Amino acid sequence: MTEFFGNTETLHEIPVIRGFLDPVQQQELRNDLREVARIAPPFSPMTGWGKPMSVQITAAGQFCWYSDRKGYRYIEAHPQTGAAFPAIPALALAAWRAFETRVDPDCCLINHYREGARMGLHQDRDEADFGYPVVSISLGDPALFRIGGVERKAPTRSFWLESGDVMALQGDQRLAFHGIDRIKFGQSALLQKGGRLNLTLRRVAP
């Protein structure tokens, strides 16, 4: 049994810790992420249709998700610099450890949503072991999150994720279709140019 602290809510069976990061911690994590972005500049992966995604991504940890005309996969070196990705920030590791203590994550994928950016419904299934959760941390502007079932046609449910919220996807939900429909741009002052950062902590290797 996981012990939660903070305001834990179970929204549609999904554990969400509202305000897991307080405002000062959100600033600390944001500062760490600026350093990550300096070492590993964000880029826009290609969709399956040959159009760049509206979200920019980068990563901390051993692995980063990547997509080009050859398909999608996890990579261990930055596509432009060839350098390894920087270490996962301490507060991100703390969020993972609130849900999973057997092993630490080897990937902290960082998604940056500018005004109008969205993420279509998809599954995350490029990791070796679906027995580990995916833990998400939201920073900056609120996002309307949508989650359905393991089949694309299953009905979906939606709720808002706000800055400081942490959510875990595990068990039956680990292979559920999910996405981000929209961002309430300009609501939060955390990020200089507005928008939203989402961190997903993952275990990519077995």
Question: Applying CB under 5 A, which residues contact Fe ion?
Answer: 124
SS3 sequence, 193-205? CCCEEEEEEECCC
Give min distance, CB of 143 to Fe ion, in A. Answer: 12
Asked if 200 interacts with ligand MD3 (CB under 6 A), we say yes
**Considering beta carbons, is residue 36 or 169 the nearer one to ligand MD3?**
169
Asked if 119 interacts with ligand MD3 (CB under 6 A), we say yes
Asked if 108 interacts with ligand MD3 (CB under 6 A), we say no
169 binds, among Fe ion, ligand MD3, none (CB under 5 to 8 A by kind): ligand MD3
DSSP letters, the chain, are -PPP-SEEEEETTEEEEETSS-HHHHHHHHHHHHHHHHHS--B-PBPTTSPBPSSEEEEEES-EEEEETTEEEEESS-TTT-PPPPPPPHHHHHHHHTT--SS--SEEEEEEE-TT--EEEE----SS-TTS-EEEEEEES-EEEEE--SSTTS--EEEEE-TT-EEEE-GGGGG--EEEEEE-TT--SSSTT--EEEEEEE----
**Considering beta carbons, is residue 26 or 136 the nearer one to ligand MD3?**
136
**Considering beta carbons, is residue 82 or 122 the nearer one to ligand MD3?**
122
Residue selected from 26, 56, 188, 198 as contacting ligand MD3 according to rule CB under 6 A: 198
**Considering beta carbons, is residue 28 or 124 the nearer one to Fe ion?**
124
Residues from 132 through 191 that contact ligand MD3 (CB under 6 A): 134, 136, 143, 147, 169, 173-174, 176, 178, 180
Asked if 67 interacts with ligand MD3 (CB under 6 A), we say no
Asked if 21 interacts with ligand MD3 (CB under 6 A), we say no
Neighbours of 116 (CB within 10 A): 10
Nearest residue by C-beta to ligand MD3? 198
**Considering beta carbons, is residue 82 or 171 the nearer one to ligand MD3?**
171
Site of interaction with ligand MD3 (CB under 6 A): 109, 111, 119, 124, 134, 136, 143, 147, 169, 173-174, 176, 178, 180, 198, 200
